[in-house]
Amino acid sequence: MKKYNYSILLLGLLVLSLYSCQDKETTVEKIPGIVLTNMDTTANPANDFFRYVNGAWLDKTEIPSDRSRWGSFDELRKKSSENTLAVLNEAIDNGTYSKGTDQYKAAVFYQSAMDTITRDEMGTEPLKEYIDQINAIKTISDVQKYNAKTIAYGGRTFFDFAVFPDLKNSTINTAYLTAGSLGLPERDYYIKEDDDSKDIRDKYLTHIQRMLKYIDNGNVEAKSKSIMDIETKLARIMMSKEKRRNPLNLYNKRSMSDLSKLVPSISWTGFLKDIGAGEMDSIIVMDIKYYEALEGVIKSTNSEDWKNYLVWNEFNNSASMLSTEIESADFDFYGKELRGTPEQRPRWERALGTANGVIGEAIGKLYVDKYFPPEAKSKAADMIENIRAAFKDRINNLEWMTDETKVKAQEKLANITVKIGYPDKWKDYSKMDIKSKEDGGSYISNIIAASKYGFQEQLDKLGKEVDKTEWGMSPQTVNAYYNPLNNEIVFPAAILQPPFYNYQADEAVNYGGIGAVIGHEISHGFDDSGSRFDAQGNMINWWTDEDRESFEERNQVLIDQFNNYEALPGVFVNGEFTLGENIGDLGGIQAAYDGLQKHFTSKGKPEAIDGFTAEQRFFMSWGTIWRTKMRDEELQNRIKTDPHSPGNFRAIGPISNLQVFYDAFGVKEGDALFRKEEERVKIW
């Protein structure tokens, strides 16, 4: 479901992510790992390293019409989706799993998403009962009660509720209040006056008017304007994306009496009781400035405007699950206008993506059984320990950090938990009520059932000990992440394959690919956000004031470097917003390089391959994983919404600070990638 709740989205800044293995019966070809035909060796790597490594690929590659961007991650995700679909279809065709099993539910859910005949027959009928309830609303108290009834389906109003580990006591799950939901993916679209933001606002308003005609014969122009006015009011009082990066801003514990004074229009004890959270003395407010200003927004907005806003939220969040006509109209704005994508992805791929999000570990069991060789896990574990050891050495050798802080940093590093491939304990979906069409189920009813299951799962955890064996991604996900609350790095099975990793390929290439990803995730434990958490995952300061100041001075240099990268004419990377990922990249490639040297020390250093030294192949592999082509609209959107820098800048930004890169490719003063010694960033 589509909704943009900015306090929930900020959790993606706390659980920081990096951005299909062969069949077990198939021998993986032993190859050097670098695809020479993708290179442009006429380019000077000291001036344009990105083109040197990827130039031929850039020239011959067209972004598929159903994508807003295309690159290494996207190629691998497409392959992983095809592999996942194959095992899911095999389970469906063979009738392998009996009714009620998790795998059966995954198959049924996927089939319901593919059943466009039923969806077209139902049209907007699934929303009727919710719209009728909204139309009966007369007071803000009614809005509160409606929110309590529907919160399990995802926040639809101006505040939301979530349960996850306490930032200051990561062993216990606690309750949080978050900000409301908006229709655009970042508050900047509502408040910025650049041409792109104003253009998107105009197109969004037109989109609201178009969509409302499916469910409303009234004055859609006036209603659309009132919806836009409310969303703009809410956006203006929300925390900026830059401030959301600092977890200190997200922890504001308030007693229920204090919360009632902040927003007296809401009966908070009644709301919590109605949603099943029970009584509590206090709750953590993630965006305190938002709640301090919320009462004013409530008082200045009449009930008819709130009803328009609620109806729009219900419809907008459900549009992609309704008829094919409505789904296409939804894509016309969110896909074509916002991201510049000419066509939707194939229905099977969209359906599978939703199924992976809803019941991913059930599908993951099928995926792992067929596509994840145990050798890949073993070799990746060895690589991780080499890179962890390299990071340990780097901490010991830091000139800017005092011994007192180094001890704490080493403790945190040593306590990082590593998860590779798939969970030791799979998620249990037995309480998720997924039904086939024959049993009265539909796509939207199954989405609602999955949402109820997820919300109840949160409530069941409230006040209880955190289960740190759980995974935040399914095995078939091409990504990786660091979770500061668990102090863990996690590498799902699907990312452990080319171009990131081939367990039988040249180790220099593996260290430049998945090794740098490993180093990146470790470095997230020590970036501007992750460094706020200690070895046990608690938001406790383990720094001396002197060291924190030195750290932030170095961060500012990195911010300034990336602020100077121009993604489009007049559109620059936001160095402050992307700081954490840029620290991850810089620390990651340095630790991976040092880890490779440790590997050479114990295993021996190979000769040049295809005329390239091991060090050159390492950096070439790094450049390969960031190869990306992106539509201008998508690039504009990502600059506003994505804490990752565009791929071409990720490829060159970190290495422009590394003497070992200069040595590998003969970079000298006067070359485009050369920085004077005093201008280079040295953090970890």
Domain CATH code at residue 277 = 1.10.1380.10
b/e for 311-348, b at 16 or more Cβ within 10 A? bbbbbbbbbbbbbeebbebbbbbbbbbbbbbeebbeeb
Please tell me the predicted confidence (pLDDT) of residue 27: 37
DSSP 442: -
Contact present, 400 and 550 (Cβ < 8 Å): yes
Tell me the per-residue pLDDT of 524-544, one tens digit each, with 9 for 90 and over.
Answer: 999 999 999 999 999 999 999
Cα dihedral 11, 16, 20, 22 in deg (nearest 10): -130
Q: Are residues 299 and 394 in the same domain?
A: no
What's the average model confidence in pLDDT over 425-452?
95
Say how many domains are in the chain.
2
Mean pLDDT of the chain: 93
Tell me the per-residue pLDDT of 32-90, one tens digit each, with 9 for 90 and over.
Answer: 679 999 999 999 999 999 999 999 999 999 999 999 999 999 999 999 999 999 999 98
DSSP 249: G
Rounded to 10°, the helix 195-212/220-237 angle is: 140
DSSP 513: I
3-state DSSP helix/strand/coil % of the chain, to nearest 5:
55, 10, 35
Domain CATH code at residue 645 = 3.40.390.10
Q: Are residues 56 and 193 in the same domain?
A: no
What length is written for the chain?
Answer: 684
Residue 574 in any domain: the answer is yes
Please tell me the predicted confidence (pLDDT) of residue 218: 84
Sheet holding 16-17, edge to edge: 16-17, 481-483, 488-492, 417-421
Q: Containing domain of residue 546, as a range?
A: 37-61+386-415+506-679
Checking if the pLDDT of 31 tops 80, the result is: no
Checking if the pLDDT of 15 tops 70, the result is: no
Q: Are residues 182 and 273 in the same domain?
A: yes
Tell me the per-residue pLDDT of 546-556, one tens digit each, with 9 for 90 and over.
Answer: 999 999 999 99
Q: Are residues 393 and 528 in the same domain?
A: yes
Residue 87 in any domain: the answer is no
pLDDT band at 18 (very low <50, low <70, confident <90, very high): low
Checking if the pLDDT of 10 tops 70, the result is: no
Please tell me the predicted confidence (pLDDT) of residue 155: 65
pLDDT band at 8 (very low <50, low <70, confident <90, very high): very low
Beta bridge partners of 16: 482
Q: Are residues 398 and 314 in the same domain?
A: no
Q: Are residues 391 and 510 in the same domain?
A: yes
Residue 232 in any domain: the answer is yes
Distance separating alpha carbons of residues 642 and 577, to the nearest angstrom:
8
Q: Are residues 298 and 174 in the same domain?
A: yes
Among 319, 341, 358, the domain-final residue is: 319
* Distances, alpha carbon 109 to alpha carbons 154, 354, 474, 585, in Å: 19, 9, 16, 37
Distance separating alpha carbons of residues 54 and 311, to the nearest angstrom:
48
Tell me the per-residue pLDDT of 276-294, one tens digit each, with 9 for 90 and over.
Answer: 999 999 999 999 999 999 9
Please tell me the predicted confidence (pLDDT) of residue 21: 33
Residue 373 in any domain: the answer is no
Q: Are residues 155 and 268 in the same domain?
A: yes
For the chain, give the percent of residues with pLDDT over 70: 95
Q: Are residues 309 and 397 in the same domain?
A: no
Please tell me the predicted confidence (pLDDT) of residue 28: 38
Residue 443 in any domain: the answer is no
Residues 6+ apart with CB under 8 A from 463: 172, 173, 174
Distance separating alpha carbons of residues 328 and 545, to the nearest angstrom:
54
DSSP 61: -
Please tell me the predicted confidence (pLDDT) of residue 216: 86
Q: Are residues 44 and 163 in the same domain?
A: no
Tell me the per-residue pLDDT of 306-354, one tens digit each, with 9 for 90 and over.
Answer: 999 999 999 999 999 999 999 999 999 999 999 999 999 999 999 999 9
Among 300, 319, 338, the domain-final residue is: 319
pTM: 0.94
Element (H, E) at 476: none
Residues 6+ apart with CB under 8 A from 294: 158, 159, 237, 262, 263
Among 319, 352, 376, the domain-final residue is: 319
Residue 501 in any domain: the answer is no
Residues 6+ apart with CB under 8 A from 557: 679, 681
Q: Are residues 513 and 622 in the same domain?
A: yes
Phi, psi of 655 (to 5 degrees): -70, -20
pLDDT band at 22 (very low <50, low <70, confident <90, very high): very low
Contact present, 462 and 163 (Cβ < 8 Å): yes
Q: Are residues 392 and 313 in the same domain?
A: no
* Nearest residue to 626 via CA among 32, 66, 51: 51
Residue 243 in any domain: the answer is yes
Tokens 């977890």 sit on residue: 247
For the chain, give the percent of residues with pLDDT over 90: 88
Phi, psi of 21 (to 5 degrees): -55, 160
Residue 493 in any domain: the answer is no
Checking if the pLDDT of 195 tops 60, the result is: yes
Tell me the per-residue pLDDT of 143-185, one tens digit each, with 9 for 90 and over.
Answer: 999 999 999 987 678 999 999 999 999 999 999 999 998 999 9
